[in-house]
Structure 1
Amino acid sequence: MHARPELFAGPNHGFAWIRMIGALLVIYGHSSPLVGSGELFPPEWPVQPDEGVLMGFFALSGFQITESWMRDPHALRFAVKRVLRLWPPMLTVSVGMALIVGPMITSLSVGEYFRSHETWGYIVNNAGLLTLRHDLPGVFENNPWPDAVNGSLWTLPMELLAYGGLFALLLLGTAKQRFRWLTVVALIALVVWDRHLEEIPGSESAGSLLSVPVESLVAFLVAFALGVLLNLYRIPLSPLAAGAGLVALFVMPNSITTSAVMPFAVSYAVIVTGHFWPSRLTVPGVWVNGSYGVYVWGFPVQQLLAMAGIANQWLMLLCAAPAAYVLGTLSWKYVEDPTMRLRHLLTPAPEGERGGDKVPEPEEVPTDTEIPRTGTAAPGVPEPAGTVAPTAESAGHRGADRPLPERPRGAWPPPPRPPGAGAPRPGGRVSPPDQGLPPDRRGQRRPPPGWSPPEESPLSRRLSGEIDEPPQGRHARRPLPPDPGRYGDPNRLDRR
């Protein structure tokens, strides 16, 4: 629970910061291998930062995608959101490298390059995602890390499989209270499978599923499932507990036990950090929303720098990080954000808009970055006292689950009064009913624009003189003829 929520940014903004920092750390981790100087992190470290960053990505994804389903549990819209989030940036970088960058740097002639089946197979296989290809003909052949156009894409098929597994569980009803135990069972099964694969000697000894290494897939699915459970069960988020878990993880020796603790400690820590991100670090969203673009463009940029002759890992990082950040920001502004807005084509119209009164939509946030279900506060943050917004249900309108816009003081219509009640006067006296008309500047009652009094009956209009025609019908009383002798002389005594 936030003791002082004004000190912390919204969780969506905190998650965006974490993802951007993680994407830059991935570039840092790739710098040493891509210049051919070996591993950047000592292998005896119990926690490899690049692996921890990837687990943090999966934990955040599981947490936020579960939030998306809880807010809109519709299977088709859920699937479309995932497609619009995962594919456009990946296809953009794949097509750009194959059709623009590749012909300029390939060792083949342009004609041979475009006649090669590998060129078009690179685009088609990467579009399938589960059938990734990492090489283009004649591209990066002489680099220290040869025949790898974009090694960062290798986690995207695992992300897609995680989406599919969660989608199946959600269709079984795991988001409901009585079926949430299925997610716990799934997590236990993944942990047992992960521990079994960890004990098998050899790296990636479990083989692969198409282009997906099974051992890494299961390890990352554990972190993804932990993010799902943290959301479904609303587990309390404590910075003290998260810090203690990370400290315990770093002091542990490099062993199988440490690898078992790492997904739990890292997953909990990144989600807590997102909810407790300092508000003073709040920046415009476009500055930090391009983390996905930074991640998918970072590896090709580093390969181009290595091809240009950069052989120092720190110089590589210094040059690659700004270039990848610019490309990632452009990807967010011109690829990700426009395609994500297409989700509104499948979003049902608000209740107020169906009835003719358009309700403004909330401010858009990045996908997988949904607004917490608790309102404006983050999950676990109590709403300030006395800030309950009126709803359409309390006002007698449709769309009871949407708050009505605040009405300025003196706006029409005024609050309803009991029948027959008038305005109070000094001394306890009550004035006659004023029919609910708002006062004008002089204190008098005036009708609002478009107001008209109720229609009067013909009898009342005839009595008021508005209708001059005599009454009709057999029972209508006919006027007496004038008698000049009796009524014509005003000086008669009986007349006076």
Structure 2
Amino acid sequence: MKKTTSDILLRKNNNFDLLRIIAATAVIVYHSFAINPSWNITDPTKLLLTYVTTGGLAVKVFFFISGLLVTNSLIRNRSLLHFIISRAFRILPGLYFVILLPSLVIGPLLTKLPISEYFTSPLLAEYISHNLIIDTRYFLPGVGFDNPHGFNGSIWTIRYEVYCYLVLALFYVIGAYKYKILSNIICFAILFEPISPFKGLLFASSDNNAIYLLAPCFALGSIIAINQESYKPSTWHALALIVLSLFFRNHEALFALLICSAACLFSLRLSSYRWFVGLKVKNDISYGVYLWGFPLQQILSGYHGLGPVIGILAPTLLTYSVALLSWKYIEKPAMHLGKTLYIKLTKLSADDEGIGSEQ
């Protein structure tokens, strides 16, 4: 008997941590082709699917899992305070680490400018200040890698992730979560916006499907979380979408939406297979792998003698190592701090209510 999504969402019945690590690693592999044009290797997913890339699919899976887990958490906890604290302490510490350490330590080692010019450059202040408030900037003063991708081209998606959180929080505040039908209508509207006459009214204002399909994939995760008691993930659902996409090869938005949705649904089913669940990982390094992969790849790409195998393997292993440090000493302690803060705030609130009732 197939498990419902509510069963799969129990931690013992899924392996989303490994799934996210695989997705983050896929982004590293995809970026390798762009960073090392001398290899003359084109992304195989792009060759096969035309409108979709390996990195694009991986990021959509990230957003889908995020939509699924974050919506489930909000539904179960019914606390805006818990939502805000848990999201802030999960996203920001790791992001700040990948912004500040390169800016203040790695950048000065790589810059072509005199150190005094580096630290007094307006570009450095802009990189730090804007990225800390998730207004993405890519370039450090005097740090170039002979490509237009900036120092860390991966962080652009964080802003869209935060947008999704804010919209989800807004729907919670207005009480939409209390009405299942209304919640589904809102999420389906976001999911189908890119292929509707109303494209651009909500999230899909970009013409790049790498951008305008982020919110729909997050919404797909939210839909499944909302209907978790009834939806039973199946590989056949993903295959059906792939077959359907074959009839729309000339319609970029619809084709890309179907393929990305198929990848998301397959990832959910994969995460629940018993053999996959058995491959539990001790440390959730996926976020760190995603954040650190691109800059470390850029640094190692300076060694032009590296071929594709070593050129992908070396930065991947180095990224895993840095991501492990980020998880153990930045992300995990921050998450623990967030939980402690939430408990203290709720206890304080309960105490205040008790005092008020006594009066």
TM-score bracket relative to the smaller structure: 0.7 to 0.9
- Could you tell me which amino acid in structure 1 is paired with residue 172 of structure 2? L
Normalising by the residue count of structure 1, what TM-score does the alignment of the two structures yield?
Answer: 0.61
Higher relative contact order structure (alpha carbons within 8 Å, sequence separation ≥ 6): 2
Q: Does 1:283 align with 2:280?
A: yes
1:189 is displaced (CA, Å) by 2.6
| Superimposed CA distance per residue, residues 410-459 of structure 1 (whole angstroms, 9 cap, x where no aligned partner) | xxxxxxxxxxxxxxxxxxxxxxxxxxxxxxxxxxxxxxxxxxxxxxxxxx
- Maintained 8 Å contact 2:124/2:140: yes
Matches within 5 A, 1:10-25: 10=11, 13-25=14-26
3-state SS in 2 of match to 1:167: helix
Change (3 A) 1:96 1:11: same
- Maintained 8 Å contact 2:191/2:220: no
1:112 is displaced (CA, Å) by 0.6
| Superimposed CA distance per residue, residues 350-377 of structure 1 (whole angstroms, 9 cap, x where no aligned partner) | 99xx9xxxxxxxxxxxxxxxxxxxxxxx
Change (3 A) 1:26 1:11: farther
- Maintained 8 Å contact 1:193/1:218: no
Aligned residue-pair number: 334
Q: Which residue of 1 aligns with 2:342?
A: 346
1:147 is displaced (CA, Å) by 5.7
Matches within 5 A, 1:219-258: 219-234=213-228, 235-245=230-240, 248=243, 254-256=249-251, 257-258=254-255
Q: Does 1:78 align with 2:83?
A: yes
The separation in 1 between residues aligned to 2:191 and 2:290, in whole angstroms, is: 27
The separation in 2 between residues aligned to 1:9 and 1:169, in whole angstroms, is: 25
Q: Does 1:40 align with 2:40?
A: no
Q: Does 1:273 align with 2:270?
A: yes
> Share of identical aligned residues, percent?
26
Q: Structure 1: where are the runs of 5+ without partners?
A: 208-212, 355-496
| Superimposed CA distance per residue, residues 6-32 of structure 1 (whole angstroms, 9 cap, x where no aligned partner) | xx9946751111000001111010101
Matches within 5 A, 1:431-442: none
The separation in 1 between residues aligned to 2:266 and 2:106, in whole angstroms, is: 39
Q: Which residue of 2 aligns with 1:134?
A: 138
| Superimposed CA distance per residue, residues 318-345 of structure 1 (whole angstroms, 9 cap, x where no aligned partner) | 1111111111111111111000001222
- Maintained 8 Å contact 1:28/1:317: yes
- Rg larger in structure: 1
- Could you tell me which amino acid in structure 2 is paired with residue 96 of structure 1? L
Q: Which residue of 1 aligns with 2:357?
A: none
Q: Which moved more, 1:258-267 or 1:12-21?
A: 258-267
1:284 is displaced (CA, Å) by 4.4
3-state SS in 1 of match to 2:143: coil
3-state SS in 1 of match to 2:168: helix
1:217 is displaced (CA, Å) by 4.0
- Could you tell me which amino acid in structure 2 is paired with residue 34 of structure 1? I
Q: Does 1:186 align with 2:186?
A: yes
- Could you tell me which amino acid in structure 2 is paired with residue 33 of structure 1? A
Q: 2:92 aligns with which of 84, 87, 92?
A: 87
- Maintained 8 Å contact 1:174/1:181: no
- Maintained 8 Å contact 1:162/1:224: yes
The separation in 2 between residues aligned to 1:104 and 1:166, in whole angstroms, is: 41
3-state SS in 2 of match to 1:132: coil
Matches within 5 A, 1:309-328: 309-310=304-305, 312-328=307-323
The separation in 2 between residues aligned to 1:198 and 1:43, in whole angstroms, is: 28
1:250 is displaced (CA, Å) by 7.6
The separation in 2 between residues aligned to 1:230 and 1:280, in whole angstroms, is: 20
Matches within 5 A, 1:461-476: none
1:181 is displaced (CA, Å) by 2.2
1:91 is displaced (CA, Å) by 0.7
Change (3 A) 1:280 1:266: closer
- Could you tell me which amino acid in structure 2 is paired with residue 187 of structure 1? C
The separation in 2 between residues aligned to 1:105 and 1:265, in whole angstroms, is: 42
- Maintained 8 Å contact 1:9/1:277: no
- Maintained 8 Å contact 1:31/1:316: yes
1:273 is displaced (CA, Å) by 1.9
1:272 is displaced (CA, Å) by 2.1
- Maintained 8 Å contact 1:31/1:40: no
Q: Which residue of 1 aligns with 2:289?
A: 294
The separation in 2 between residues aligned to 1:79 and 1:349, in whole angstroms, is: 13
Q: Which residue of 2 aligns with 1:332?
A: 327
3-state SS in 1 of match to 2:59: helix
| Superimposed CA distance per residue, residues 359-410 of structure 1 (whole angstroms, 9 cap, x where no aligned partner) | xxxxxxxxxxxxxxxxxxxxxxxxxxxxxxxxxxxxxxxxxxxxxxxxxxxx
Q: 1:123 aligns with which of 95, 111, 128?
A: 128
Change (3 A) 1:88 1:316: same
The separation in 1 between residues aligned to 2:298 and 2:264, in whole angstroms, is: 30
- Maintained 8 Å contact 1:9/1:279: no
Greater helix share, structure number: 2
